[in-house]
C-alpha cells in the first residue's frame, strides 16, 4: 500500500516534484494492484492439489468451470490458459476464415487472435461517447467476406450488446466478445458472459479476478464448449488422432484455485472502484479539457481501467506531457490504447482492411489511464486528481 502524505495539495507549483518540491507521492503509485484472496485459503487448496499429484486441467478446473457458469449465468464455461488462446480457439471452432470485424481501439491480443486463427481483421471505429465498437462503423465495413464480429467491452464498459446481437442476426454472422475487461459487468441486470455466441474473459494479473494467468470462455452453446475442450488439449479427442489443429491452452489447477478463492472479492472490488471512479469524476469535473467515458444508463461498468481523454487545447498540456509530469509525481499512468491495432508495426506486414477511424484517432492520441483499485482509497484518488488540477493551473509554466 502506498504511503500517502498527510498534507493537502494546493494546486500550485511548490507542491509539485516537477519544480523541485516534494513529489505528490513518496513512492510510486502503480497503475494496477491485484486484489488477491487470503493466502491461508489459497494454501489449503494448493496443498490438496499437491497431494493429489494432478496439477493441470483436473478437479479444481472442473470446479471453477461449474462455479463460473453459475456466476455468469451461462450453460458452459471452459477454462483456458489465457483470453488470447480462448479467442483463437473460438474463431477456429466456429470455422471462421474470412473477414473479422474488430475495433482498432483495443489491446493487441484482440487483433493478434484474428491473425493466429487464420482470418483477416477489418478495423472499425468506436463510439465517441462510450468508446466501444460503433454500429455505424460496422455497417460501413461489412463486405461479402464478413465472417464474424468480434466486439470488446472496453475498460469494462459493456459494449452495445443488444444492438450488436441484432446486427449479427441481420448479417447472419457469429458475434463474439473479447470480454477480457468485462468480468462482473452487466447490461440491464444481465451479466456480461451470456451475450453473442461466446464471451472470453482474461484472468491475467491486471484483471479484477486473476489466476496469475488464465482465460474463461462462457457460452450457452454446448456444442461449441465441447469443441473448445478438445481444441484446448491439442485437438486430441482421446485417441491421439487429432482431427483439428488444437493448442495446449489448458489451465493449471493452481491457476484455477487462485481464481476460485478470488471470485468472492470481485463484486466488492467493483463497488469500491465505482465509488472511487465517482470521486475522480467529481474532483476533475471542473477541469477544462477532461472528458470521461460514458456509461449507458442501466449498465454496470467493471472499472477495470479508469481512462480519460485530455484535450490539449483546453487543458493546456497534451496527454504525453501530462503523463511525463505525473511520472515525476510518482503516479504511474498508461496510454491505453496507443498505438491502436491499425497503427501497430506487426500488422503493416499482414493482410487487413479498415474503414474511417476518426474517433479511434482522437482517442488514441489523447487517452490516459489513471490508477484505480480499492487499495488506493479515497485520499489517494483525491491526491491524484489534485495533482492533475495543479498541472492544469500551471500549464503555461510547465510546457
Ligand atoms: C482487450 C483485451 N483482450 C485480450 C487480452 C489478453 O488477455 P490474456 O493476457 O489473458 O491473453 C487483454 C489483456 O489485457 C485485453 O486487454
**Helical H segments across the chain, by residue range:** 39-52, 59-72, 83-93, 108-116, 135-141, 161-171, 222-231, 253-284, 312-315, 319-328, 345-348, 358-366, 377-393, 395-398
Query: Which residue's CA lies nearest to atom 4 of ligand 1?
Result: 109
Measure 83 CA to ligand 1 centroid, in angstroms: 6
Measure 272 CA to ligand 1 centroid, in angstroms: 23
Q: What's residue 20's pLDDT? A: 63
Ligand 1 nearest-atom number relative to CA 85 = 11
Measure 2 CA to ligand 1 centroid, in angstroms: 27
CB of 202 closer than 6 A to ligand 1?
yes
CA dihedral 235, 237, 240, 241 (to 10 degrees): -80
DSSP 10-59: PSSGGGSGGGTS--S-SS-B-S----PPPHHHHHHHHHHHHHHT--BSSH
Q: Cα separation of 59 and 77, whole Å? A: 14
Q: What's residue 399's pLDDT? A: 84
At which residue does the C-alpha cell 505525473 appear?
Answer: 326
At which residue does the C-alpha cell 471462421 appear?
Answer: 96
Q: Cα separation of 102 and 176, whole Å? A: 10
Give tens-digit pLDDT for 344-355.
Answer: 999 999 999 999
Ligand 1 nearest-atom number relative to CA 87 = 4
Residue 134 has what DSSP assignment? P
CB of 152 closer than 6 A to ligand 1?
yes
CB of 302 closer than 6 A to ligand 1?
no
CB of 246 closer than 6 A to ligand 1?
no
Task: Give first-to-last CA distance, the chain, whole Å.
Answer: 32
Report the Cα 225 to chain-centroid distance in Å.
23
Q: Is 340 helix (H, G, I), strand (E, B) or coil?
A: coil
Measure 110 CA to ligand 1 centroid, in angstroms: 7
CB of 110 closer than 6 A to ligand 1?
yes
Ligand 1 nearest-atom number relative to CA 152 = 1
Beta strand 120-124 with 353-354: parallel, antiparallel or unpaired? parallel
Measure 224 CA to ligand 1 centroid, in angstroms: 21
Cis preceding linkage at 339, omega within 30: yes
Q: Which residues of the chain have pLDDT under 50?
A: 1-10, 12-13
Q: What's residue 22's pLDDT? A: 83
Percent of the chain with pLDDT over 70: 95
- Number of C-beta neighbours around residue 106 at 10 A: 26
Measure 261 CA to ligand 1 centroid, in angstroms: 21
Give tens-digit pLDDT for 208-242.
Answer: 999 999 999 999 999 999 999 999 999 999 999 99
Query: Which residue's CA lies nearest to atom 7 of ligand 1?
Result: 83
- What domains does the chain contain, in order, with CATH numbers? 13-35+265-398 (3.90.1150.10), 39-262 (3.40.640.10)
CB of 82 closer than 6 A to ligand 1?
yes
| 355 touches 140 (CB < 8 A) | yes
Ligand 1 nearest-atom number relative to CA 106 = 1
CB of 108 closer than 6 A to ligand 1?
no
Measure 202 CA to ligand 1 centroid, in angstroms: 6
Q: Cα separation of 77 and 55, whole Å? A: 20
Amino acid at each position: 500500500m502506498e504511503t500517502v502524505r498527510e498534507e493537502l495539495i494546493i494546486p500550485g507549483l511548490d507542491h509539485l516534484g516537477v519544480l523541485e518540491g516534494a513529489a505528490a507521492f513518496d513512492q510510486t503509485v502503480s497503475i494496477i494492484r491485484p486484489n488477491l484472496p487470503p493466502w491461508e485459503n489459497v494454501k489449503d487448496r494448493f496443498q490438496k492439489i499437491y497431494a493429489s499429484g494432478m496439477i493441470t486441467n483436473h478437479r479444481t478446473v472442473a470446479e471453477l468451470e461449474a462455479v463460473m457458469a453459475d456466476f455468469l449465468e451461462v450453460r458452459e464455461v471452459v477454462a483456458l490458459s489465457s483470453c488470447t488462446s480462448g479467442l483463437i480457439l473460438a474463431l477456429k471452432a466456429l470455422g471462421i476464415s474470412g473477414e473479422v470485424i474488430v475495433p482498432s481501439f483495443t489491446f493487441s491480443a484482440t487483433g493478434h487472435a484474428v491473425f493466429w486463427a487464420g482470418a483477416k481483421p477489418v478495423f472499425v471505429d468506436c463510439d465517441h461517447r462510450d468508446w466501444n465498437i460503433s454500429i455505424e462503423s460496422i455497417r460501413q465495413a461489412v463486405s461479402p467476406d464478413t465472417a464474424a464480429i468480434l466486439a470488446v467491452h472496453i475498460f469494462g464498459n459493456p459494449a452495445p450488446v443488444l444492438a450488436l446481437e441484432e446486427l449479427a442476426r441481420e448479417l447472419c454472422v457469429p458475434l463474439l466478445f473479447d470480454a477480457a475487461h468485462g468480468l462482473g459487468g452487466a447490461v440491464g441486470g444481465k451479466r456480461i458472459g451470456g451475450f453473442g455466441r461466446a464471451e472470453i474473459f482474461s484472468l491475467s494479473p491486471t484483471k479484477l479476478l486473476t489466476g496469475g494467468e488464465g482465460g474463461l470462455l462462457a457460452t450457452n452453446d454446448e456444442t461449441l464448449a465441447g469443441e473448445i475442450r478438445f481444441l484446448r488439449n491439442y485437438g486430441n479427442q482421446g485417441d491421439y488422432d487429432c482431427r483439428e489443429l488444437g493448442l495446449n491452452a489448458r489451465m493449471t489447477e493452481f491457476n484455477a484455485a487462485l481464481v476460485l478463492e478470488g471470485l468472492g472479492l470481485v463484486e466488492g472490488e467493483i463497488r469500491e472502484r465505482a465509488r472511487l471512479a465517482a470521486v475522480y469524476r467529481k474532483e476533475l469535473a471542473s477541469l477544462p479539457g477532461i472528458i470521461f467515458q460514458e456509461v449507458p444508463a442501466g449498465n454496470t461498468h467493471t472499472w477495470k481501467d479508469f481512462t480519460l481523454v485530455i484535450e490539449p487545447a483546453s487543458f493546456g498540456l497534451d496527454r504525453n506531457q501530462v503523463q511525463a509530469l505525473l511520472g515525476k509525481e510518482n503516479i504511474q499512468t498508461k496510454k491505453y490504447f496507443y498505438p491502436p491495432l491499425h497503427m501497430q508495426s506487426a500488422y503493416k506486414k499482414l493482410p487487413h482492411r479498415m474503414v474511417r477511424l476518426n474517433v479511434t484517432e482522437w482517442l488514441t492520441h489523447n487517452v490516459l489511464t489513471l490508477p484505480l483499485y480499492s487499495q488506493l482509497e479515497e485520499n489517494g484518488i483525491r491526491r491524484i486528481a489534485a495533482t492533475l488540477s495543479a498541472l492544469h493551473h500551471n500549464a503555461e509554466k510547465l510546457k
